[in-house]
Amino acid sequence: MMSIKLLLSVGASLALASPVPAPPSPVLIGRETGHFNASRPNITIFATGGTIAGSAGSSDQTTGYEAGALGVEVLIDAVPQLWNVSNPSGIQFANVGSSEITPEILLNLTQMVQRELDKPECQGVVVTHGTDTLEETAFFLDITLRTDKPVVVVGAMRPATAISADGPINLLEAVTVAAAPAAARRGVMVVLNDRIASAYYTTKTQANAPDTFKSYEQGFLGYLLDIKPVFYFQPALPVGRPYFNVTAAAAEALPQVDILYGYQGLDPKMAEAAVANGAKGLVCTGMGAGSWTRPGQKALAQLAKENGTAVVFSRRTMDGFVESGSVGYGGGFLNPQKARYTLMLALNAGYDDEKMHALFESQSPS
């Protein structure tokens, strides 16, 4: 095991709402001169916790473990092969289960990652993350970062203490992809289980199995063979992918947007309650291609008229396109959690009705 020196980095401190304890201040794992190689790309790893840093009481335990028990130094030490493909450095941004990640934390993360990417000596960034909400963070970064450099979000489905833990190889593959020149200009990517996927479309599809992150309709960008990335396509970005500027001057906090779930006989008052509780926007997880009950639509229309509440319709099905109806905006191919962050960022940016329609209907059939 290599010895890695811990250095305090300059970074904003984080605070999580009670009762969740505040994460540690960000720390930087320095590149030692004994391992540094000027011919290798410099890759910065932002660690946020999750299963990839999890620990359990026994090697056959893959549920009920403690997420975020290990620091980024331990993660890097466990994979010495990282130094064969990069000069890795690590920032302990947070160390929590991904269910504790908040929009405020994501604003801080994307600002720190952008500053790192803006440094000429940084060739790429990897973010380690819990898998439960990994797709939300990856999507958020995808539409708030402006860079051609590779950015990869990675996690694990088994804690570090488990037999055949997938974290070490996933981390090695993520850093390898971030270090690859062919990975540039592809937006934020998700790398797990030998697959390379677009953060814009990728979703967690299975609660327990390692082969879980997929985009059934759009497919994968590539795969890894012998820890070497193979891409299927030339660099390209998703059609209609927006960009939102969330520098410190542009965003201090994001408007509250809540997600409502559609079902037979749904209670229309749940929309009213969400707005009364402070929601400036609502994402409706509709049935089928975004359908909502008539009483529910009536309540939404009234909220939009009287409160100016922005409403976006998505779907509870795994995939599909949701078009605009008589109320609100159709979420297109975005699932509810991704439509939520899109709406939050659009409200923060002050989008009017015309811009909202253009944003959510960017992939409508012509």
Show which residues are catalytic. Answer: 51, 131
Tell me the two tokens of residue 73: 């130094």
Quick one: which of 74, 93, 85, 92 has its CA closest to 42?
A: 85
For the chain, the first-to-last Cα distance in angstroms comes to 57
Tell me the two tokens of residue 186: 């592809």
d(CA 52, CA 363) in angstroms, rounded, equals 35
- At 73, which helix (H) or strand (E)? helix 72-77
DSSP letter assigned to residue 254: P
- Residue reference for tokens 């409502």: 260
Distance of CA 108 to the CA centre of its chain: 13
Give the CA-trace dihedral at 197, 203, 205, 211, to 10 degrees. 20
**Which stretches of the chain are assigned E, i.e. beta strand?**
6-8, 27-29, 42-49, 87-96, 124-128, 151-154, 188-192, 195-198, 203-204, 213-214, 222-225, 228-231, 257-261, 281-286, 310-315, 329-330
d(CA 176, CA 164) in angstroms, rounded, equals 20
Quick one: which of 344, 342, 349, 341 has its CA closest to 363?
A: 342
Looking at the DSSP bridge assignments, the partners of residue 315 are 286
What is the Cβ-side half-sphere exposure of residue 44, based on CA atoms within 13 angstroms? Answer: 23
Per the omega criterion (within 30 degrees of 0), is the bond before 150 cis?
A: no
d(CA 160, CA 148) in angstroms, rounded, equals 32
